[in-house]
A and B are shown apart, each in its own frame.
Chain A
Amino acid sequence: DAGVTQSPTHLIKTRGQQVTLRCSPKSGHDTVSWYQQALGQGPQFIFQYYEEEERQRGNFPDRFSGHQFPNYSSELNVNALLLGDSALYLCASSLEAGSLLYEQYFGPGTRLTVT
C-alpha cells in the first residue's frame, strides 16, 4: 500500500518565478493538506482540499494556491517566489469520513530553495 508521495524531492527556483509541487495521497484517502516548514519551526498549515475544493486556509498570501484532482491528488502552486518561500513543503492526506481519531499521513516533503 503506497503511502503519501510527493514530487519533486528538491527544487531550486529564482525569485519571481512560479513553482508547482505535487502530492499523491495514501490509497483510499480523499483529503489533502499542505504545510510549510521553515528552518527551525514546526510545520505551518497552508490549506486543505476536499472534494476538489479548498476547505480551510491558513495565514498565507494569495500567491499560494492549490488544486485537487478527481483522483484526490493535489498540487500546490506558488507564484512570484520570494526568498522567504524557501522551505520544506509537506503534504498530508487523511480520510474525511474516517474514524473519530483521524490521523494525517505525511509525505517526505519537497525541499524548495529560492535564490
Chain B
Amino acid sequence: ILNVEQSPQSLHVQEGDSTNFTCSFPSSNFYALHWYRWETAKSPEALFVMTLNGDEKKKGRISATLNTKEGYSYLYIKGSQPEDSATYLCALGYNQGGKLIFGQGTELSVKP
C-alpha cells in the first residue's frame, strides 16, 4: 500500500519566520511529485511539479526540492507572510495524466 506522509501536520509561525515541511514517500519509481497550496474555501492551487532526483523549483519566496533516492521532498517558505496561511499538500503521480496519491497535508498558520 502506497503511503505518502507529510510532516508536521500543522505549523504555527510568526510573520517573517522561515519554515519548511516534509513529504515522505516510498522510494520507488514514480512519474512526478506535486505540491499544492490550498487556502480555505478556495481550490487547491498547483505550486510545483518535479520529476527528477535533485530537482529544485522556486516561485517567489517558496521553493521545493526533491530527493527520489531517499524518498522525500522539502517545501521551504522564506519570510512567511499571513497570506501564506494555507494547507500544503504533496501528491505523487505514477503515470502521466493518471491519479494522484496525496499526503494528508501540512496546515500552516502565519500570525502577523
Residue ranges of A at the interface with B (Cβ–Cβ < 8 Å): 3-4, 31, 33, 35, 40-45, 48, 50, 56, 58, 90, 92, 94, 96, 98, 100-109
Contact = CB atoms under 8 A, between A and B. Distances in A.
B111 interface: no
B29 interface: no
Range, interface on chain B: 20 to 34
Contact of A42 (B45, B89, B97): B89
Contacts, number: 63
B96 A108 contact: no
Interface of B: 4, 6, 32, 34, 36, 41-46, 49, 51, 89, 91, 93, 96-105
A57 B99 CA distance: 8
B43 A31 contact: no
B94 to A, nearest CB: 10
Q: Specify which of A90, A103, A108 lies most central, judged by the most chain B CB atoms within 10 Å of its CB.
A: A103
Given A100-B96, A102-B96, A108 B42 contact: yes
Q: Specify which of A44, A45, A94, A101 lies most central, judged by the most chain B CB atoms within 10 Å of its CB.
A: A101
A60 B102 CA distance: 16
A33 to B, nearest CB: 7
Contacts of B101: 45
A72 to B, nearest CB: 14
Nearest to A4: B43
